[in-house]
Structures are given as structure tokens and as C-alpha cells.
Chains A and B, each alone.
Chain A
Amino acid sequence: MDEWKPNPTVKPHKKRSWYLAWKYKLMNQRALRKLCQTGAVLFLLVTVIVNIKLILDTRRAAYEEEEESAQDYDDEMLNVEVPRHPVSNKKVLDVEVYSSRSKVYVAVDGTTVLEDEAREQGRGIHVIVLNQATGHVMAKRVFDTYSPHEDEAMVLFLNMVARGRILIFTIKDEGSFHLKDTAKNVLKSLGSQVAPFLSWRDMWTFVGKKGGEVYGEKHAKSPALSTWGDPVLLKTEVHLTSVEDAECHWPDTELNRRRKRFCSKVEGYGSVCSCKDPTPIEFNPDPLKDNKVFDVPVAVIAGNRPNYLYRMLRSLLSAQGVNPQMITVFIDGYYEEPMDVVELFGLSGIQHTPISIKNARVSQHYKASLTATFNLFPDAKFAVVLEEDLDISVDFFSFLSQSIHLLEEDESLYCISAWNDQGYEHTAEDPSLLYRVETMPGLGWVLRKSLYKDELEPKWPTPEKLWDWDMWMRMPEQRKGRECIIPDISRSYHFGIVGLNMNGYFHEAYFKKHKFNTVPNVQLKNVESLRKDAYETEIHRLLGEAEVLDHSKNPCEDSFVPDTEGRVYVMFIRMEQEADFTTWTQLAKCLHIWDLDVRGNHKGLWRLFRKKNHFLVVGVPASPYSSKKPSSVTPIYMEPPAKEEGAVAVPAVAAAEQT
């Protein structure tokens, strides 16, 4: 632009020419000449102005280009990115492992990666898996090998860990009581010298590479039965390998990139990270013809049980008619590993800051997840709600696709659920049969948006109320007499053993023997008869055709139902008013079905199967179906056992365990 500097020099010229022109005009009156001169001068003037304008314009343009992004388009929040630790080229890791009666810790390069000094917790062998190239913690587990079967779980886990990983072991309190030889041999094969001789209350630490060298081992023997071995502290160095060596060489595809990211971060997912023939992470199940739930969002409610989530998502993504784009996983808390699992499958996940405690925390998480689901999919009329500890049946979406129009059209419906509370191995038979029930089973269900937005969301229990969301939803104020549709054979399976309201015994008693449909493409029968009035007609037809069982026999006995197949039987029990479930509860108990509260009833009627016969139970006289009772039949009454103080659930569990 320097070229334009001479420009100002034009000005004097201009002035002089003007002056000259005047002078000339005075002297010479020739009009043409005058015109020419003024023309030339004007021309000059215009040039000067245009020049100046151009310079200014280009200057401003250049200036704007520099400035433009600096203002409007800047993110107002200064996202100062925390500089990540540069990947250290260090080849050696310092590892410290401590084992004692009341405290264990593991520190890697000065960073504590495990510390447990809680009382009455964390007993057994703690295992940590490190990535041999980066030193990152890939898995943390504790196996209470003081208790039975935990050593088997440990063996299973250790076998899943990829070769080359660094394993760190330390014992807290006691870890040998139920440590069987198999497990000891596995530890020995890892290079431990001490493992085969580990005994009562010994302290032990061990660091080694799976299938490779041993970095260190320390052991303190317990001097006597009543005392513990002295605390041991193992300090050792681990040599890191190159990243190349730590990874498998899968073909470079989008899927394998996800797999690689996952497998370099976490351990304990078995063959998904095998270098040879890894388990697929994309399933491509058959699409459903005329899938009415393809556009229905699926919310997966999760906590910090990544292994469960992994199993759950596998089954969900294998179900026919699944649409992965509609799936969102809501994780309660900022846990990394569940998020890793979600990303492995290429799904979207959202983390939720935990609010409140216990049940209220779960219930707040549900609320946030449901609200978010309907915000993210504003077009959706429904949402499928799943939990991380469910297996999903292969025909789950087919089941919903065939029944979802009912939820849209029948105002008297509350939900469609994939779970039949009473559908055990011995009480469910027909995959094509559906029921209407007055209870809300949950465990894989469909929620109508209008129900949520207009009724549930505005009055959802607040964080300070320690209520179970599902119990709250079952309350008459919410349910308002509406019913849910359920299948005879459940389309979900509850496999969770650890959980807020769950433990091994409880699971064994109430969930393990639940029937789960594995048949694809089941054509549901008589879906239309599930509508409010049609269902009554259907029930009356059923009761009309049903054979009355011999009420003199004990209904708990197997012989109560004849050895037939495919018949319909009815029995009548005493039920004084609508809320009188005394006899039902006893019957449920001896039939080994859900007896902790009343589930699966419809106007005082229960429907299940016994010995492959449809088996109806009618509560007399509370049920409107009581009129079907022949006058000669006396309803059966079963007395509850003498009540033990404060223990309601325990005998029930005990009873169920006898199965």
C-alpha cells in the first residue's frame, strides 16, 4: 500500500490547476477549453477520492479479517484446557504395594491407585491390572477369598486378562481360607513362589507380568491362628514396553479403532479384546418387518456396574429390530468404565451428577434420564426404559412393535412391561400370550410421554424423599387404576446380583428361575383382546371354559392340578375385600413365585401356568369374577404362619430357596 503514499501530493496540483483554470478563464473566454479543463480537474478529484476510499476499504477489510473471529465468534467461556501430562517416555514405573490386616494400598509412580482401610470391608485379595505400555490402571477387583466361590471368580478374571499385562496382588485381612488349589496354581503359573503355601492370615504382595517376568513378591507368615502376619511393603520397578507391543494388530476399521481404545483402557471383558478372533462388537440383527418401535428412544439406566452394562448392551444390540441411534445410556455418576463400555459399542452416553442418597439417588437418576430422553427425542410419544442388569430377549422389539398401539389408543393402560413378576420356569408357558395386570412390573418397560410429562414429572418425588421410584409409580395416586400389559414369558431377564436392593440369596430365590423368552419372531396372539372391554369378554370366556379344580385338595400339592396339558383350570380362594391378599400370599409362597407383595393381579384374578395348563385363581368374594364360582365350592383359605417378629421377608426367602 506504500504505492499510494504519493497520493496526497496530488492535492496541491489540484489546487493549482483550479487556480490556473480561473486565471485562464479570465484571460481566455473559450468555452470548450474551459470545459475540458474543469473536466480534467473533476476527473482528477474523483480519482483521488476513489483512491482514498479504496485504501480505507482494503485496510478495513484486512483489519476485520484479523479481528472477526476475536469477537462474536469467540466462545465466551474460556475453556482453558488443562495441559495433559505429556506421555512420559519413561520406561520404568515405581510400584509400591502394601498388605496388612486393616489396610492395603498400591501406589504407581507415587500416585495412589488403591487405598482401602475401611473397617469390615475389602477383605481378601485385591487385584490391579496395569497397562504394560502406559502404566494406566485397567481394572481393579477384590475377591473375598475368605468366602467360598470367590476364588473361582478370581480365576475367571485372571484368565480373561490379556497376556503381557501387569498384575498387582495384595491381601487385606484374610485371603486364604477359601483359596482352593486351582486358584493357587493359577497364581503359581503367574510366577508367584508363595501362593501355593499361602495360609491363614498371611500377608502377601506380588507384582508380575502375565505370562512373563516377576517384578517382586513379599510375604509375612502369620505366627499363630489368632494373629495376623506383619504388614508387608513391596517396592519394585516395572519396565514398560512399547505401545506397539501392548496392542493387538486388528485390521484398521472404525470398529477396531473403538475396540482398540477400549482394550487399551480396561481389562476383564474377555474375548472382546482377544488379538485373535475377538468377539464382534457390532451385531446387525435382522431388522423387523413393519417395526413400529424403530423410532422409539431407548433409555438405559446405569450405575457403576460396567460388566453388567457390557452384558446388557450386547443383548440389547443383538435384539431384532434394535435401532442403536435411539439408545442413550444414562450413567449415574462420573464413572469412566461404564462410559468406555458405551463408547465401545458406539452408543451415546450421558453422565449424571448423583443427587441425594440410596433410593432417592436412583429415583432422581430416573427422573433426569427420562426428562433428558424426551428432550433429546422431542418427537417421541414413548420411551423404552431399561436397566443395566437386564438381558433383553431377541424378540423384545418385536413384542413391543406388536403391542405398542394399545398404549397409544387405550387410555386405561399405564405401561407395557417386558417382565412378568409371576413368570417362573414352572409358571409360564406361552410366549404368544399377554395379560393385563394392575401392578407395574418395570424391568424393561414402555412409558408414554404424555403420562410422564403431564402427570409424573411435575410431581416426581423430590431428592429428600427416600422413595423407590417404582414403588412410587405403583401408588394408587399415580397409577389411578390403570393397568400394564405384560407377556406370560418375560422378554427381559434380571441377572443383577449386586445392587441397591439386591443380594445373592435374594436373586437366587426370586429371579434366577425366571423364564426368559429365547424364541425369535413370536407372533403374539389376540393382541386386540387386551383392550379394556375386550379383555373382560376374554376373561369371561376363559372362566366359562375353565374346569373347577378339586377344592378339597391342598393347592400347594402338585396333585392339585391333574396331569394334563393345555387345559384351563380355575380355583377359588378367599379374598374378603379388594386388599385382602392373605390366602394369595400363602399360595404364592408355596407355589414358589413372587410373594413379597402382590403382583400380577387383575380384579382379584391371577393367571399363570401349572403343569402346562392355564391356571386361574379367583379371589372370592372381592373379585367381580366370583359369580363364576359354583355354589358347591368353598373358597380355599390358607392361614399365614404365626408371625415372627419383624421378619417378613426372611421366611419367604427361605421357602423359595427350597425349590
Chain B
Amino acid sequence: MQKINKNVVLALLSLTSLVFLLFQLYYYKFYLSQKNGTVFSKVRGSQSGQDSTRWHVVRKFLGLISSHNIPVYLIDPLILGLVDKDIEQIRSSPDGPSPECKYFCAPRDFTTFALLDKTWKHEVGLFRTAEKMGFQWLKIINKDPRLDGMDDLSGIEIPLHYIFKLASHAIHLVVFYERSGNYLWHGPLRLKQHMDRKFVPFRKLHFGRYPGAYEKPELLLVSIDDLKVQIPKNPSNFLEEMSHSRFLECRYREARAFFQLYPDDASLDAVEFRKKAKSLLHLAALTLNNLGVKFWLSSGTCLGWYRQCNVIPHSKDVDLGVFIRDYKADIIPAFQKAGLPLKHKFGKVEDSLELSFQGEDDVKLDIFFFYEEDDYIWNGGTQAKSGKKFKYLFPKFTLCWTEFVELKVHVPCETRQYVEANYGPDWKVPVKLWDWKSSPSNVQYNGVWPVDEWDDVIQVY
């Protein structure tokens, strides 16, 4: 009796769990279909089971765009990722019909395209046609950052993002603007109060959490899934760029407040120094970029950017930071070739490396190499006459793009911590007398170089 009971109980239990499982499956399917809608019947036979809504919406959108002669290009990271795998094949057969819907049929909420602002004329007609085609659209505008640095212009608002929604799929159109420094910029996506927060699941967008900076891409016209579309010529490069494209705007408002407090030095000397520092920075950026060495604004130059959006006229040099893992032996010859002779070299690759190059008339370019530890990052300093070593500690940071003196450069994203580590809590107050050995608040005495190494680690020219 007991035995039978046990068996029955077990069988019952198994049954229940099976029912549960089935119910789960059903529920999950229901959940998915709710999100994707079923407006379009699945006509494209070859991809039965796939979501062709997306394909249809994209096709309609491309039709809309081409009827208004607006050149857009695909920047959807998920599709570009797929495309990148087959890039050779796609390149070689730009017109061939595709046997199956491989790229535009994966069920997603969005497909992302980019638009270069200067290539279209903001015609209202586009939106009228879009509405006629059944699209709902949303325009996200914000202040024009290109005019943000200027005191008194009522910055006109410019469109940063458009979202075209049809059925359950939305097209996210990111507007890219050309900015001084020969790069493209897209803005953050911020909803104003009256906007419909539920228009699309904004959080899932690939672009818009932060503003971003990109190189101008070369484009390639390809046909994928029977849709003709422009894509960046090298999708993997683009995706790599995208992964660290975050852009920081200079803090213009704070900079203005700073200049209210400490009026800018407009003397001829200051003007001259700024001009030289700017051209030195441009030259250094060109040289390092050609070598593929990633660098950022450091020390006084970084402070100048963060505090006043300009070169500090009394700083007398230009400071850059480079991670030691990016060090290349070609750096010194490359600078020499660019007309910047080595002035001194302190330390060695393994420890406290620092290079100084002589720019035009006394303006010096310092490159500090940064060493990463588990919970901090540091760079070293060396006093030439005594062989003393110093260590400057920084909290860990990542790199962001910014624009500085018409140049797209990196700065630490966590700039405030970086500057504060270096200059202490009073970084807002200009200090003219600065001793690199004692003034920084993050300096540590780090021993003395062994005398027998001096020839190597202290080279002054």
C-alpha cells in the first residue's frame, strides 16, 4: 500500500512539474509576442520563425530616407557585429540576392542609423511623409555644444536624435555633427519633461546614454538581406571605436565663472604662449596618433581644460599622459623627426619613465608614463641633480574624448578626481609658483636611483 502510494505521489509530482514547464514555455512565448507585435504577417517564407517586422520597418525607413535624398548609414552594433563576420563575402558580392534574412530579422526593438547633419537640410517634408507612411516619430533636441563655449549666444537647439516607430519596431537615427578638431560628435539622449517616456524602451538604445566622438567613417554601400544600405567600411573598427567613444564636454559654465573670479591674462605673452602651446599640442597629437599611441591631457594641461577650457598661460609647458603598456621605442625618433628634440629622459620603461621634448621657444612637451597597479595608477618623477625619485598617485580612471584647442583628445573621464589628486581640493585657485616635487598633493618620496644606473635613468640633453 505504502509502496503504491509513493509511486503515485512521485508520478503526480512529475506531472505537476511538467505542467509547470509547459506553462512556463507558453508564458514566455506570450511575453515575447507581446513585445514584438504581430502587425506584419510573416511573408518572407525563407525566414519563417524569424521576425520580419523589423525587416519591413527598416525597408520602409530606407525608402522614406532615399525618397528625400538623405544619406544615412547603418551603425547598429548588433548588425554590424554580424556583418563584420561576413564582411569579405558582403564586399565581394555587393548586389547578390541573399538566400536568407540573416541580419535584419533578429527580433530587436531598434535598428540604429546615423545621419551626418550637414548632408541634409532639415526639411519638414520628411516627417510629413513619414507620418503618411505610418511612422510615429520623436525628435530629441538640445543645445548646440558648438556654441556652448561662447558666453552670450542663445545657443540654438539642434536635433540630436530621431526615433521613427512603426508597429513594434523603432528606427533610432543618431545625428552626427562635425566639430572643430575634425571629428564627428553625437549628443546624449535626454528627454524633456513633456516627452513620452514610454515611446520606446529608451534604456535599450545603443547610443545616447553619453555623447560620443568618432572619426569620420569611410562608407561602403552594401546589400544585405536584399536591402541596400551604407555601412562603415570597416565595421570592426567602428565597433571598437564605439566601445570607448564617450565624450565629455568642457565645463564652459564653470570656466566662465572661473574667469569672472580670475580674469584671463590677455597680455601679448599669454597670447603668444597659448598659440605655441596649441601648435605644440597639435604636433604632439599628430605624432602620437600616427604611432597609434593613446595619450591624454595630464597635469597642468588637464587642469587648464577642466578649469578654464583653455591653456593656462603661466603653465609654460604641455603635459601628456601615456599608459606604459602603450609605450613604443619609436616615440623618441618620431618626435625628433617632427622637429621636437629630446630634452631629457628620466627613468626606464620598467620604472618612472618620463620624456621631455623641446618645442618652439622654451615651450616644453612632457610625456609622463603611467603604471597601473591593482587599486591605483601612478607616474614617476626624477630630480636630475640628486637622483631622487618621486611617485604621483592617482585613483583609477578610464579615458574619455573631449575637444581642446580644436583637437579631439583624451582626458580621464573621472577628471575631477584626477585633478584633485594632483592639485588638491584647492585646484580652483590659480597658483603661479608650482614646485613639481612638493606642491602636488599626491606626491610620494620614492627613494633614490642607484648611482650606477644614473647614466641610463637620468639623461639630460
> A residues bordering B, Cβ < 8 Å?
3, 10, 13, 16-17, 20, 24, 28, 36-37, 40-41, 43-44, 47, 50-51, 54, 58, 64-65, 68-70, 72-76, 78-81, 254, 257, 325, 334, 348-355, 368, 371-372, 374-379, 453-454, 458-459, 462
A352 contacts B154, C-beta separation under 8 Å: yes
Contact at A81–B28, with CB atoms within 8 Å?
no
* Given A24-B6, A69-B198, A351-B154, 7 more pairs with CB closer than 8 A: A36-B10, A37-B10, A40-B17, A73-B190, A73-B202, A75-B190, A76-B190
A371, B161: Cα distance in complex, Å: 26
The answer for the CA separation of A257 and B3 in the assembled complex, in Å, is 87
Chain B contributes a number of interface residues (CB within 8 A of A) equal to 57
Contacts A80-B193, A378-B178; A47 near B152 (Cβ below 8 A): no
Which chain B residues in 255-297 approach chain A with CB under 8 Å? 266, 268, 271, 274-275
* Interface status of B328 (Cβ within 8 A of chain A): no
- Please tell me if the beta carbons of A74 and B191 are within 8 angstroms of each other in the complex: yes
Q: Given A372-B150, A378-B179, verify A454-B275 contact (CB < 8 Å).
A: yes
Nearest-Cβ distance from residue B274 to partner chain A, whole angstroms: 6
With A13-B13, A74-B190, A78-B193 known to touch, is A351 a contact of B31 (CB < 8 Å)? Answer: no
Which residue in B23, B142, B191 is a CB contact (below 8 Å) of A69? B191
Chain B residue numbers with a CB within 8 Å of A20 are 6, 9-10
A interface footprint on B177-220 (CB within 8 Å = 1, 0 otherwise)? 01111100000011111100110011110001100000000000
Q: Is the CB of B271 within 8 A of A458?
A: yes
B16 part of interface (Cβ distance < 8 Å)? yes
Task: Provide the B137-163 mask, 1 if CB < 8 A to any CB of A, else 0.
Answer: 000001010110111111110000000
Cα-based distance from A50 to B24 in the complex (angstroms):
9
A377 contacts which chain B residues (CB < 8 A)?
178
How many angstroms from the CA of A69 to the CA of B194 in the assembled complex?
A: 12
The CB with the most chain B CB atoms within 10 A, among A20, A348, A375, A454, is that of A375
Report A-chain residues with C-beta under 8 Å of the C-beta of B178: 377-379
CB distance from A8 to the nearest CB of B (A): 13
Q: Report the bound CA distance from A325 to B10 in whole Å.
A: 78
Would you call B193 and A351 a contact (CB within 8 A)? no
List, sorted by A's number, 19 A–B pairs whose CB atoms are closer than 8 Å. Answer: A17-B9, A36-B10, A41-B13, A64-B203, A69-B202, A72-B209, A73-B203, A334-B154, A352-B154, A353-B152, A355-B152, A368-B151, A375-B146, A375-B150, A375-B179, A375-B180, A377-B178, A459-B271, A462-B266
Answer yes or no: B429 CB below 8 A from chain A CBs.
no
* B25 CB, nearest partner CB in chain A, Å: 10
Q: How far is the CA of A353 from the CA of B31 in the complex (A)?
A: 54
Neighbouring A residues of B201 by C-beta, 8 Å: 65, 68
Point out the residues of chain A lying under 8 angstroms from B192, CB to CB.
75, 79
B69 within 8 A of A: no
Q: Are B274 and A458 in contact (CB under 8 A)?
A: yes
Q: Are B17 and A43 in contact (CB under 8 A)?
A: yes
How many pairs of A and B residues are in contact by the CB < 8 Å rule?
142
Q: Does the CB pair B153–A43 fall under 8 Å?
A: no
| Interface-lining segment among B117-125, B358-366, B377-385 | B117-125
Q: Residues of A contacting B21 with CB < 8 Å?
A: 47, 50
The 5 closest A-B pairs by CB, nearest first: A68-B203, A69-B197, A353-B152, A75-B190, A378-B180
How far is A51 from B13 in the complex, measured between Cα atoms in Å?
15
A43 to B18: give the CA distance in the assembly, Å.
9
Cross-interface CB contact of A10 among B16, B147, B189, B271, cutoff 8 Å: B16
**A75-B202 contact, Cβ under 8 Å, with A3-B23, A376-B147:** no
CA distance A589 to B31 in the complex (A): 89
Q: Is the CB of B193 within 8 A of A79?
A: yes
Interchain CA distance A291-B125 in the complex, whole Å: 28
User: In the complex, which residues of chain B have a beta carbon less than 8 angstroms from the beta carbon of A68?
Assistant: 197, 201-204
**In the complex where A368-B153, A453-B406 touch, is A73 in contact with B208 (Cβ < 8 A)?**
yes
Are B197 and A375 in contact, with the CB atoms below 8 A?
no
Tell yes or no: B27 within 8 A of A by CB: yes
Asked if B376 is at the interface (CB within 8 A of a chain A CB), the reply is no
| Cα–Cα distance between A377 and B155 once the two chains are bound (Å) | 15
Contacts of B202 in A (CB 8 A): 68-69, 73
Question: Does B14 belong to the interface (CB within 8 Å)?
Answer: yes
Find chain A residues with CB under 8 A from B16 CB.
10, 13, 44
B residues less than 8 Å from A371 (CB atoms) = 150
Q: When A20-B9, A24-B6, A44-B13 are in contact, do A353 and B154 touch as well, CB less than 8 Å?
A: yes
Q: At the interface, yes or no: B445 with Cβ under 8 Å from chain A?
A: no
Judge whether A81 and B24 touch: CB under 8 Å.
no
Neighbouring B residues of A353 by C-beta, 8 Å: 151-154
Q: Do A73 and B191 touch (CB < 8 A)? A: yes
CB distance from B354 to the nearest CB of A (A): 31
In the bound complex, residues from chain A placing their C-beta under 8 Å from that of B14 are 40, 43-44
In the bound complex, residues from chain B placing their C-beta under 8 Å from that of A352 are 152-154
Cα(A348)–Cα(B14), bound, Å: 72
| Contact A73/B189 with A81-B194, A458-B271, A459-B266 known, Cβ cut-off 8 Å | yes
Tell me the bound Cα distance from A424 to B16 in angstroms.
Answer: 102
CA A3 – CA B23 in complex, angstroms? 10
Q: Is B397 an interface residue (CB 8 A)?
A: no
Q: In the bound complex, how far is the Cα of B208 from the Cα of A78, in angstroms?
A: 19
Q: How far is the CB of A73 from chain B (nearest CB, A)?
A: 5
Q: Within 8 Å CB of B151, what residues of A?
A: 353, 355, 368
Q: Which residues of B contact A10 (CB under 8 A)?
A: 16-17
Which residues of chain A are near B40, meaning CB under 8 Å?
none
**Residue B20 lies at the interface, judged by CB distance under 8 Å to chain A:** yes
Q: Which residues of A contact B17 (CB under 8 A)?
A: 10, 40, 43-44, 47
Q: A17-B10, A70-B197 are in contact. Are A374 and B180 (CB under 8 A)?
A: yes
Q: Which B residue's beta carbon lies closest to that of A325?
A: B121
The contact of B20 among A41, A47, A65, A375, by CB within 8 Å, is: A47
Residue in A41, A72, A73, A350 whose CB lies within 8 Å of B156 = A350
> For residue A348, which residues in chain B have a CB less than 8 angstroms away from its CB?
156
The distance in angstroms between the C-alpha atoms of A636 and B23, with both chains bound, is 111
Residues of A with C-beta under 8 A to B266: 459, 462
- Bound CA span A40–B180, Å: 68
Q: Among B24, B189, B190, B406, point to the contact of A54 (Cβ < 8 A).
A: B24
A374's nearest neighbour on chain B, judged by CB, is B180
Q: Are A351 and B146 neighbours in the complex by a CB distance under 8 Å?
A: no
Q: How many Å lie between the Cα of A17 and that of B9 in the bound state?
A: 8
Q: How far is the CA of A348 from the CA of B146 in the complex (A)?
A: 15
Give CA–CA (A351, B144) in the complex, Å.
13
Contact check, A351 vs B153: say whether CB atoms are below 8 A apart: yes
Nearest B residue to A10, CB-CB: B16
A303 to B126, CA, bound (A): 33
Residues of A within 8 A of B28 (CB): 54
In this complex, what residue of B is CB-closest to A458? B271
Q: How far is the CA of A40 from the CA of B14 in the complex (A)?
A: 6
| A378 CB contact (under 8 Å) in B23, B142, B182, B274 | B182
Contact A368–B275 (Cβ < 8 Å): no
A457 to chain B, nearest CB (A): 10
Q: Is the CB of B149 within 8 A of A375?
A: yes
Q: Determine the distance from Cα of A10 to Cα of B154 in the docked complex, in whole angstroms.
A: 65
**What is the CA–CA distance of A47 and B16 in the complex, to the nearest angstrom?**
10
Q: How far is the CA of A64 from the CA of B17 in the complex (A)?
A: 30
CB distance from B261 to the nearest CB of A (A): 17
Contact B147 A378 (CB under 8 A): no
